[in-house]
Structure 1
Amino acid sequence: MTESQHVDHGDLPEVPEATQSGGGGTSTVTIDDVTEAMKDVVDPELGINVVDLGLVYGVHIDEGSNAVLDMTLTSAACPLTDVIMDQTNQALEGLVNDVAINWVWMPPWGPDKITDDGREQLRALGFNV
């Protein structure tokens, strides 16, 4: 089964289609499943999940139910990558067999990548977005 989903972030490059197949053949993990689980990963500085902040650029799942996430950070100098990696491993535990993060710096993250839900959450915290 081949499935692909691209999150609309405007000027992001196209990512290849992800082939997905469950390890035992009885369940299949989808890009939507991984994306939804990633909403449990919260940016430690802003307190908003990485999906709604627009930090997840792509999700790829191979035939062995291993996930590779193309992600960025609000700043390349962010000292909290380990925290995000740990949260990601916890969020996807039991959903995928293994996870790797491919840190992507181009195009750079900007406020235009934030979803409408993310903007509402930031406004509730007092940010003007």
Structure 2
Amino acid sequence: MVTKEEVLEALKAVSDPEIGYDVVNLGLVYDIQINGNRVYIKMTMTAPTCPVTPWILSEAQRVVEELPGVEACDIELVWDPPWNPKMMSDEAKQALNIDY
């Protein structure tokens, strides 16, 4: 069975093309649940009007479903809590010169 750590590592391959950083370090992944061979993810975008939302969600689903042992991945787009730069990893903040 796949682990949350493996799912997070796979999701690091998905970058927001407008920001140039991955969805995990941007703090866009809120929750991961694994039930057998199915993965359920709650994630958000940096803004509700993000024009690349469909692409990011599709890529996230694709990379997770490519993991051994994963039959399906369902992603729920959520807006609560609202994303803010404080949710980014220290690595991302430093790389993007964001001082929080």
Which is greater in Rg?
Answer: 1
Alpha-carbon distance in structure 1 between the residues aligned to 2:60 and 2:9: 12
Counterpart of 1:90 in structure 2 is: 62
- In the TM superposition, structure 1's runs of 4+ consecutive aligned residues that sit over 2 Å from their partners are none
Task: Map 1:47-126 to 2 at 5 A.
Answer: 47-63=20-36, 65-95=37-67, 96-123=70-97
> Per-residue deviation at 1:108?
0.3
Alpha-carbon distance in structure 1 between the residues aligned to 2:6 and 2:91: 18
User: What SS does the corresponding residue of 1:59 show, helix, strand or coil?
Assistant: strand
> Per-residue deviation at 1:121?
2.2
Unmatched runs of 5 consecutive residues or more in structure 1 = 1-27
The CA RMSD over aligned residues, in Å, is 1.2
Alpha-carbon distance in structure 2 between the residues aligned to 1:97 and 1:113: 30
Deviations 1:61-100 (A, max 9, x none): 112x111111011101112111102211332133121111
Q: Which has the higher contact order (CA 8 A, sep 6+)?
A: 2
Tell me the matched-pair count.
97
User: What SS does the corresponding residue of 1:40 show, helix, strand or coil?
Assistant: coil
User: What SS does the corresponding residue of 1:51 show, helix, strand or coil?
Assistant: coil
TM-score, structure 1 as length reference: 0.70
Amino acid at match of 2:41: L
Task: Map 1:30-41 to 2 at 5 A.
Answer: 30-41=3-14
